[in-house]
């Protein structure tokens, strides 16, 4: 039985705004095993990024507030340990890569300086040792002439190359967990394929666990072992990747898969769109957050919020309705 690296329980994060409190994450629980890749899928505003930022304590407070929950990393709760202890883990044992490689680098510092920083802080290397290691790392992620390029600034790299540099930086301290927050969304499809292959290769070589956040069900299909689907600040379905794509149970997951055209399909069928709009989370939903858009919704869906329950071996579901029969479970 592989070890559970990360165990998140009942995480709730809220933001105070001038229009009232936004309930961004409303009780999310998941775990990550050693060597496993977990995909987290959802549309903008569903709380997927906020979940990850919360457990790394990167939510600015105020206005953000982690209202409830635990995030156990190897037994210690990331949400209650001291700032100093979190700083040791962040960038060291758990590192993160972000969506926009342009804005996540400091534009006035050289790449060498920025990538070497975690090495000096977490591993106590001297600047010279660290720079040598940076050249190795840049080589590893496929940056040509790494020796010369450590003196370049971020704007001198293309988008794909910048994302490679970010990956090099994230991997510099041999993390046990890599959190990737939509790292390919800003990139072209051929560059996206390069980055996905790179992360897959490094994952298998280094043996780290990966959490990959995305809105693209296509990328996750070839990458993840297990997938969690988020909606309205909740995980509404979670299953091993093949199970989720072949037997989706939640109406939202079904709708999402139906609204994607497939490159390998010839027939010209109409896309099954999901009507309506994602919820605005100014109040904590006391009924199923998807009910207003759901074509299967029954009376109960508008009264009670289903919790994530076991549906089948390692398949979890938060829904009152059996989508095959259309009746209540």
In the complex, which residues of this chain contact other proteins (CB under 8 A)? 43-44, 158, 160-161, 188-194, 196-197, 215-222, 241-242, 245-246, 255-264, 266, 268, 270-275, 277-278
Nearer to other proteins, 82 or 273 (CB): 273
**Cβ 23 vs Cβ 14: under 8 Å:** yes
Nearer to other proteins, 139 or 216 (CB): 216
Nearer to other proteins, 201 or 303 (CB): 201
- 3-state SS class at 37: strand
Minimum CB–partner distance for residue 199 and other proteins (Å): 13
Spatial separation of the C-alpha atoms in residues 162 and 102, rounded to whole Å: 7
Q: Give the sheet arrangement for strand 20-33, strand by strand.
A: 20-33, 4-17, 64-73, 76-77
**Cβ 78 vs Cβ 71: under 8 Å:** yes
Minimum CB–partner distance for residue 58 and other proteins (Å): 24
Nearer to other proteins, 290 or 311 (CB): 290
Minimum CB–partner distance for residue 304 and other proteins (Å): 24
Nearer to other proteins, 128 or 265 (CB): 265
Q: Quick one: DSSP state of residue 99? A: S
**Cβ 42 vs Cβ 14: under 8 Å:** no
Minimum CB–partner distance for residue 292 and other proteins (Å): 13
- 3-state SS class at 119: helix
Minimum CB–partner distance for residue 164 and other proteins (Å): 11
Cα distances (Å, whole numbers) of residue 304 to 65, 286, 288, 318? 25, 6, 6, 11
């Amino acid at each position: 039985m592989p070890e559970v690296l990360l165990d998140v329980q009942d995480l709730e994060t809220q933001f105070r705004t001038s229009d009232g409190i936004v309930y961004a994450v409303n009780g999310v629980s998941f775990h990550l095993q050693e060597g496993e890749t977990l995909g987290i899928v959802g549309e903008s505003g569903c709380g997927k990024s906020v979940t990850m930022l919360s457990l790394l304590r990167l939510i600015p407070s105020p206005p953000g507030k982690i209202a409830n929950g635990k995030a156990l990393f190897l037994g210690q709760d990331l949400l209650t340990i001291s700032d100093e202890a979190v700083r040791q883990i962040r960038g060291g044992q758990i590192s993160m890569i972000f969506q926009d490689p342009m804005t996540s680098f400091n534009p006035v510092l050289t790449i060498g300086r920025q990538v070497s920083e975690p090495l000096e802080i977490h591993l106590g290397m001297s600047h010279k040792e660290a720079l040598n290691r940076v050249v190795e790392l840049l080589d590893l992620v496929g940056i040509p002439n790494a020796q010369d390029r450590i003196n370049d600034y971020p704007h001198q790299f293309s988008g794909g190359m910048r994302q490679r540099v970010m990956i090099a930086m994230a991997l510099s301290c041999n993390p046990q967990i890599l959190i990737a927050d939509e790292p390919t969304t800003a990139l072209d499809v051929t560059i996206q394929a390069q980055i996905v292959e790179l992360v897959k290769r490094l994952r298998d070589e280094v043996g780290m666990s990966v959490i990959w956040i995305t809105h693209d069900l296509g990328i996750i299909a070839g990458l993840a072992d297990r997938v969690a689907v988020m909606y309205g600040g909740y995980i509404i379905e979670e299953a091993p990747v093949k199970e989720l794509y072949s037997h989706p149970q939640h109406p939202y997951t079904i709708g999402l898969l139906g609204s994607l055209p497939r490159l390998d399909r010839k027939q010209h069928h109409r896309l099954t769109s999901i009507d309506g709009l994602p919820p605005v989370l100014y109040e904590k939903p006391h009924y199923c957050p998807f009910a207003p858009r759901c074509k299967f919704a029954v009376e109960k869906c508008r009264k009670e919020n289903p919790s994530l329950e076991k549906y089948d071996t390692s398949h979890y579901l938060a829904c009152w309705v059996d989508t095959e029969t259309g009746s209540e479970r």
